[in-house]
Chain A
Amino acid sequence: MMMREATLEERKRFYLEEWNQHDIPDFILHTLSLREFGFDLDGSGPSNRYNQFLTVEQLGDFLRSRAPYSVYASVALYERPSAREGWLKSELALDIDAKDLPIKSCGCPPGSVCERCIEEARTVAQQFAEVLAGDLGLRNISFVYSGRGFHVRVNDESVMTLEGNERAQIVDYVTGNVIPSDFTMALGYSKVFRDRVARTFSSLGEEKLLEVKGMRRSLARKLMQEKARAIEMIRKGRLDELSSFESLGPKTLRNLLEFLTRMNSEFTDGKVTIDTKRILRLPSSLHSGVSMKCMVVRDLDRFRLEEAVPKFLREGVR
């Protein structure tokens, strides 16, 4: 999959020929006039803020005439979006950026993205959404492919008035960022934590394991050799059995758990979730940095990256 920067001509072509207001999801369309819009007009950053559009036609006119590099809309709804005043409520949003995943099985350097990174980001987004719906009982959860990862956006009234502190606790819960007092319960946070730790552990290599305080190479090697057994123990909540691995004492086990927990928290950018005035890339717009469409994903399992390739790139490849 080719990912390259779009030219100004390509941006113009995209907004004139391909952009469609019907690609804006209802949760944004129905509250369009209450959101703040931000633009990066030339690739220097989203410095054009405090914009309000009363109708989607006005927004369309703006996009066609300016062909911005990036388009953003606030997760917040305001009485006066053009002044960012009169906050009413905000979506709950989680940002899973494939370029920032803490572990990449593909070996991409940090800051780079390949299809495999995006595939991994998709899995993380799916796991987060399952906890949001299952444990937290939230509804109206949408996925957005952002161009380099996924946004999980929740429009459930029961969480939209929550403030930063509460949202931070949701991040902790969903990512498995706190070591629980019990590892064995079949449901609840205990299970979320086990799943997250098992996933993170399964992606680790021997070298990464050596970053754990007190981890000796021989032990790291052993854990990697018998990874499947270790993961089974974690999944079943039998963490004490991990000490059956030679020289994995309680102190190193604790260090390992803390290490994994810290890594868990890096699968999403918590600052995005906590910030109730955040602007996020507008679904339907073009991510010009990688020439991909930011779009709502109706069925995450079936989503194929090709769906997000703009016409100018497809035709260029031909």
Chain B
Amino acid sequence: MIAPEYLAVLDPFSDEAKKIVEASPQLEAMPSDVIEMAVKRVRWTAREMLVEPNVESIRAEVLSFYLMCQAVAAVSFPGSQEVRLIGSATRDTLRYRMYDLFKRGQEELCMRAVKRSINLVNLEVEEGVRVGRSVIPREDFYKLRDLKLAEDGLETVDDRILPQYLPKYAVRWTDLAPLLRHRRKELTKLYLVGGWAVITPRDLWDLYADFVSVRMEEYVQSVYERMLELGAQPSGVLARVGERISSLVPKEAVIREGFTRGPAGRLRPEFFPPCIKLALNGVGAGLRNYAVMMMLTPFLSYARVAPSGKVATRMADFINDISIVRDEIAPFLFEAAERCNPPLFKDQPQEKAGIFYHMGFGMTTEPTLADSGRSKWYRTPNCSKIQMSAPSLCKPDEFCRKIKNPLTYYFRKRYEGTRAG
């Protein structure tokens, strides 16, 4: 019999898991085995993903999960390669754990974990197959099985595997909204009857694993935004773990990312949030400095450079060509400044140097890579600060509800835009 605390292993966002996190040591005092686990879990295979049902193992599992998430938030951004890497690892881990528990006759425990987030029922399979008041035709029942087998490229399976492919449960499709939102599932690919999606055990493992993975990505986003808000540099442990995880991003993925982003990740204004678009159009006298220096300069520099893999203190850690700053980022800023009324640099020419100062190059109008780090590379203010300092620029659209920082908006939109093709 597995203890109820084991639910934390299946649901890292459960109350059981939260209790463990609340009682965790400070980051710098984190046990070395937890630190190692936070990195290694990204590469776990099969049995490494399983957790012994004892208090110590469960505790290490939960703490290493949170350390992994926070470390990645410290060195990258929502939608980054690192986030996708740990998202995929989390999904694989959860799926394998569910499979393993089913295999060992612990289906009930899995169901308990799933039912906390998703409305789940067993199909009634007696004279006919029913869910709620709806009857599912027998032919459809077996066609669903065969479709799943075909999807997995299987022609024949033995009796041990076959039950995994037989429809057994139904979930309320509306509970799958987070998966639909992130396009992890498509409504037209579900078999829907009376509001229920009919699924097999394998579907259940997949759905639940995706569900936790999406929640994990949202958690990383919230940590990332909190770090931006505080403006503090991540602690040594977070930075070190984050950089180690970043080094595990497959090289081919980096190449692909470089390719899809175009030459060195050119800025994609179509994904800018409304406040940045407004600021780029130019603002009036009282807002010019704030809009150009405090909002646009950090936003465009972080968006263009997309610092990932290291704690971002110097731009030179992420670029090896100053033309990115001079020829790509700066022109956007100078044009926005020119559009202000009156134009920003007309009566404040010294502010041209201020732009490079806010990107960390010190007070200069001719920045070089060697200057990087002479001043602080300012971070993009959070939405709440923009609302207070420049309320006229805050005209939120629907997507703004999901984020707390304009940069998150951009990274998420760009990521979703790339996924959508």
Contacts and interface: CB of A to CB of B under 8 A. Distances in A.
Interface of A: 87, 134-138, 158-159, 161-166, 169-170, 172-173, 177-178, 180-182, 184-189, 193, 275-277
A302 B187 CA distance: 32
A166 B191 contact: no
Contact of B181 (A137, A158, A163, A277): A163
21 contacts: A87-B401, A136-B192, A158-B174, A162-B180, A166-B177, A169-B187, A169-B188, A173-B187, A173-B192, A178-B188, A180-B188, A185-B143, A186-B137, A186-B140, A187-B140, A187-B191, A187-B193, A188-B193, A193-B188, A275-B398, A276-B398
B139 interface: yes
Nearest to A191: B140
Instruction: Pick from A161, A165, A180, A193 the residue with the most CB of B within 10 Å.
Output: A165
Contact of A165 (B183, B189, B192): B183
B172 interface: yes
A188 B192 CA distance: 5
B299 interface: no
A184 B137 CA distance: 12
Interface in B8-33: none
A136 to B, nearest CB: 6
A166 B180 contact: yes
A158 B172 contact: yes
A178 B186 contact: yes
A135 B192 contact: yes
Nearest to B196: A137
B173 interface: yes
A177 B189 CA distance: 12
A182 B136 CA distance: 16
B191 A137 contact: no
Contacts of A172: 186-188
Given A158-B174, A169-B180, A185 B191 contact: yes
Given A138-B195, A165-B181, A188 B398 contact: no
B398 A164 contact: yes
Contacts of A161: 177
Given A164-B398, A166-B181, A188 B140 contact: yes
Interface string B140-156: 10011001000000000
Interface residues of B, number: 29
Contact of B143 (A178, A184, A276): A184
A87 B399 CA distance: 12
A188 B136 CA distance: 10
A166 B173 CA distance: 11
B253 interface: no
B355 to A, nearest CB: 32
Contacts of B139: 185-186
B401 A189 contact: no
B398 A277 contact: yes
B65 to A, nearest CB: 27
Contact of A189 (B143, B144, B191, B398): B191
B136 A187 contact: yes
Given A136-B173, A163-B398, A182 B188 contact: no
Nearest to A85: B396
A177 B144 CA distance: 21
Nearest to B185: A169
A162 B147 contact: no
Contacts of B196: 137
B269 interface: no
B136 A165 contact: no
Nearest to A159: B174
A165 B180 contact: yes
B190 interface: yes
B163 interface: no
Nearest to B174: A158
Contacts of A277: 398
Instruction: Pick from B147, B172, B191 the residue with the most CB of A within 10 Å.
Output: B191
A187 B137 contact: yes
B417 interface: no
